[in-house]
Amino acid sequence: MRVTTIIKFIKKLLRKTRSKPASTDTHHIIPRNQHKISKNDISTNALKVLNRLNSSGFQAYLVGGSVRDLMLGKAPKDFDVATNATPTQIRGLFRNARIIGRRFKLVHIIFQRDIIEVATFRSGEEEDDSNQQTNERGMLVRDNVYGSLDQDAWRRDFTVNSLYYNINDASIIDITGGVTDIHDHVLRMIGDPVVRYQEDPVRMLRAIRFSAKLHFSLAPETASPLPKLSHLIRHVSGSRLFDEMTKLYQCGEAESVQRLLIEHGLFEQLFEQTHLLLNNDAYPIKALMGNALESTDARIRDGKPVTPAFLYAILLWFPMMEKAQQLQKDEELAPLAALEKAMTHVITLQNKVIGIPKRFSQVIREIWVLQFRFNKRQGGRALHLLEHPRFRAAYDFLALRALAGDESMELAQWWTDFQEKDAYEQNVMIEALAPLPVKKPRRRRKPKILAS
């Protein structure tokens, strides 16, 4: 009990040290004539929420990424609100509101397809231990200690995400020095990065994502702890990691994300099987991943759909192939049996870190299996494969493998041409292939006649 008390006391001191670092500016207000954010750029639904909270006697501000993006001249995807109203009070003002979350209680106010997320100001102080709890690793497992705007600002992750826009006078409240960091294109963790990463290791992935997405450099004190603390990411739940990795690789800067993950020691924790093969000359893994990530970024820019299953199929392809070859050699399994066992092994091992939902792991398996059917084109096989529901994803996978040198360009080009032909021309292409080998009929043995 005494040890627990000491730990809590130390954590209080760390938070108090974090709350007012000497290196950043103190609380100040930036008037409308010193920034370029206009109410016309703010979602009408977000304005409705802000106006109702304010008119009901509460403080309410636009906060976080939307303010940051508006300052950068970008169109925000989401508009979040921070207020001193509690979740219950917020729900009482909006019939279309619902309280969500266990670790952090938030309120979602739903306007058909648009959702405005509203959070109550949080405090960094442990005044009520029942509302703020950490586990033995220092990770926050519950955090519903409410506080003031100033306390809430120091509780956020990065300075650039800690800006508050006041619709009453169109001013920006900057408590942590976020405006300066936006101008300098620097991503800086608020407070002691070591403590903040220990509280929530996912902040390491957020640092990577924002750095890549915004084209901001990581502040030295924000970047330096990453390699030493990267192992903490394995303590995060697999389902949460899957969601975070999907955001990472679908932020439109997947190539930069991959470089930063490797540079800061996070990739080896997240994809250990793949990391072990990165420098293996037997596999063109870097080329395949580079092509896939470039293609993903292009699809995001063009507004085309991207499925996580495809990227995981890319990331785990060579570990699966190596395992299949090992099983054929060591256990003398037939190729198909080795493939099935290798797929299960690699996906199961990956799931211990990042939980891939079954609806995606099944697609991964199908993309992999179809790779072995592309060479079998004679007869009706090519037409049957063309009708497979996963054909397009599998073909894209084949094309990327060919570009990386893992498959022949001739085969990929044949399938590219085949899709563009009409039925007659497709039959001509099939007939031009080498015919299927004719199987000789098995000779029936004559029964032996036993001598009487």
- Give long-range contacts, CB 8 A cutoff, 24+ apart: 362-369: 363/307, 363/309, 363/310, 363/313, 363/390, 363/393, 364/309, 364/312, 364/313, 364/316, 366/390, 366/394, 367/309, 367/310, 367/313, 367/393, 367/394, 367/397, 368/313, 368/317, 368/320, 368/339, 368/343, 369/339
- Which of the following is catalytic: 143, 152, 157, 174? 157
The catalytic residue among 41, 78, 192, 396 is 78
CB 90 within 8 A of CB 121: no
Question: How far is it, in rounded angstroms, from Cα 288 to Cα 300?
Answer: 18
CA atoms within 13 A on the CB side of 274: 24
In the residue annotation, 128 being an active-site residue is answered as no
Displacement of CA 53 from its chain's centroid (Å): 33
How far is residue 59's CA from residue 116's CA, in Å, rounded to a whole number?
Answer: 16
Non-local CB neighbours of 188 within 8 Å, separated by 6+ positions: 158, 159, 160, 177, 181, 219, 221, 222
Q: Exactly one of 80, 152, 200, 297 is catalytic; name it.
A: 80
> How many C-beta atoms surround the C-beta of residue 412 within 10 A?
18
Per DSSP bridges, beta strands 186-187 and 217-218 are: parallel
Q: 129 catalytic, yes or no? A: no
**3-class secondary-structure state, position 413:** helix
> Any catalytic annotation for residue 25?
no
Cα–Cα dist 428/416, whole Å:
15
Task: Give the CA count within 13 Å in the CB-facing half-sphere of 206.
Answer: 18
CB contact at 8 A, 177 and 30: no
Task: State the catalytic residues.
Answer: 78, 80, 157
